[in-house]
Amino acid sequence: MALLLNIDTSVETASVCLAKDNNVLTISKNVREDSFGEKQKDHAAWLHVAIKEILDNHNLEIGSIESVAVTEGPGSFTGLRIGMATAKGICYALNKPLITLNTLLVMANAATGIDADLLCPMIDARRMDVFTAIYTKDLRIVNAPLAITLNEKSFDEELTNNSICFFGNGSDKFYKLKAHPMALFSKIDFDATNMVSLAREKFIRKEFADLAYAEPLYLKEFYSPAR
């Protein structure tokens, strides 16, 4: 029975869970808010403490983990770097394999029970941009992950013969643009528990990332402020 640590820091609410095969043992989320009601973005300070706590709660040493899975992106540039660096550091120190999962696929895995033909997770990428993809309900790729700028005609072709459920923190701005009988909008939360089945499948197939070369999947160019 494989004991896997799953890490997601790709969006505002970070989460980490411990799973044995497909059974979630425990999950921890960084859901604290500041005085303005905004979710804190202190994933770096929170993550290592959370990992230690969930292991301690089950009287486990970190060396008992057989693999670490992490959302590679797309998502928050800073969040992705934090999650990837933590996962790679643990795997390197313990000589364990690394599993990377696309954030949009993990989001789709949280929505397979929705009554729609296709699933379209969206992550806010500022302005009218989103990171998005389209999946069937059995998680086959219809449109591969990419960054797009939304407009009134976005997804018209895909909506011709299919109902599509749009969800995620980038879908609110599309809701304001799109009035189409086949376009459905839903609030679907996801967290590290939605990584569990996907990570286990990769672990069984030994589909591991190259520890030396694995890096976040940004999907659009990252700009850092001038110093």
Q: Is residue 168 part of a domain?
A: yes
Parent domain of 137: 111-185
Same domain, 98 and 135: no
Same domain, 99 and 36: yes
pLDDT for res 160:
95
HEC assignment per residue over the chain: CCEEEEEECCCCCEEEEEEECCEEEEEEEECCECCCCCECCCHHHHHHHHHHHHHHHCCCCHHHCCEEEEEEECCCHHHHHHHHHHHHHHHHHHCCCEEEEEHHHHHHHCCCCCCCCEEEEEEECCCCEEEEEEEECCCCEEEEEEEEECCCCCCHHHHCCCCEEEECCCHHHHHCCCCCCCEEECCCCCCHHHHHHHHHHHHHHCCCECCCCCCCCCCCCCCCCCC
Shared domain for 69 and 144, answered yes or no, is no
Dump pLDDT digits (tens) for 11-57: 999 999 999 999 999 999 997 554 444 454 688 889 999 999 999 99
* Number of domains comprising the chain: 2
Rounded to an integer, the average pLDDT of 80-109 is 97
Both 151 and 47 in one domain: the answer is no
